A = this chain, B = another copy of it.
Amino acid sequence: MPDQSKTFFRSVGRATDALRPVRLTPHYVAAAEGSVLIEIGNTRVLCNATVEQGVPTWLRNSGRGWVTAEYGMLPRATLTRSPREAERGKVGGRTHEIQRLIGRSLRAVVDMKALGERMVILDCDVLQADGGTRTAAITGACAALGIALNRMVKTGALSKSPLTQFVAATSVGVVEDTVLLDLAYEEDSQAEVDMNVVMTEDGGLVEVQATAERTPFARSRMLEMMDQAARGIEQLLEAQRAVLKEAV
C-alpha cells in the first residue's frame, strides 16, 4: 500500500504505483516502415523503424538478421537547452549507453533466423523529456518494430512476424524511502535509487539495471521495486497490443 502522506511531490492525484497517462500514436511518420509516437506523461519519443536489406559484416551468410537502435534528444527537449550532438561532433556516453540498452532489449524478442538477412534500425528521438525517456523508447520502439514486421507479413516478404512477444520497460525509484513507479524528471532527480526493468509478456526479464544514486540499497528493497515495475509493465504491454491491432 503506498504511503499517501508522502506523495505530495507527485502530480496531484497520482498514486505511488501509478503510471502516468500512456498514449501510442501509430504512423506518425508516413515514410517509415513502422512509426509510433509514444507519450508517457510529458515525455514524448518518436520511434521509427527502418528495414534494410543486408546485415553487418560479421553476420553475412549466417542467414540471421539484426536489430539495432539509435537514440537522440532534440536540443530543447529538456528544461534548459543542451548542445546538439552533431555540432559537438560526437555521441555522448549517456546516448551510447541508452541506444545499446534499447538494441539489446529488442533483440531478445526477435527470432533472427525468421527475420533473415535484414537489419531493422529503430530511431528513437526524444521530442520532449520529462523522465523515463529510455524506457519509453524501448516500449515505443517495440511497437514500431511490431508494425514494421506485420507490414512485411502483409506484403508477403515474411510468412510470419519474427517478433516472438512484446517487450516493454519502465522505471522505478526510491524517493524519501518510498518506492515510486514511473518517475517524472523532478522525482528522478530526487531519487536515492533508480531502476529500469525490461520485461516480456511471459514475465521473463530482459534487463534489470538498478543504481544507487547516493546510498547502497538492500536486496529486499530491490525485490519490492521489481514487483512494482512488473505491474506497470503489464499496462504498457496492453497498450502495445492495442496499438498493433489499431495499426493493421
Interface residues of A (CB under 8 A from B): 28-32, 35, 42, 46, 48, 50, 52, 70, 72, 74-81, 84-97, 99-100, 104, 108, 121, 123, 125, 127-128, 199-200, 202-212, 214-219, 222, 226
Beyond A30-B128, A84-B123, A205-B216, 15 additional pairs, beta carbon < 8 A = A29-B77, A29-B127, A30-B42, A72-B84, A86-B90, A86-B91, A90-B91, A93-B97, A96-B97, A204-B212, A204-B216, A204-B217, A206-B212, A207-B210, A207-B212
The answer to whether B89 touches A99, judged by C-beta atoms less than 8 angstroms apart, is no
The answer to whether B70 touches A87, judged by C-beta atoms less than 8 angstroms apart, is yes
A210→B207 CA distance, assembly (Å): 5
Contact (A207, B217) CB under 8 Å given A29-B76, A76-B50, A96-B93: no
What is the total number of copies of this protein in its complex?
6
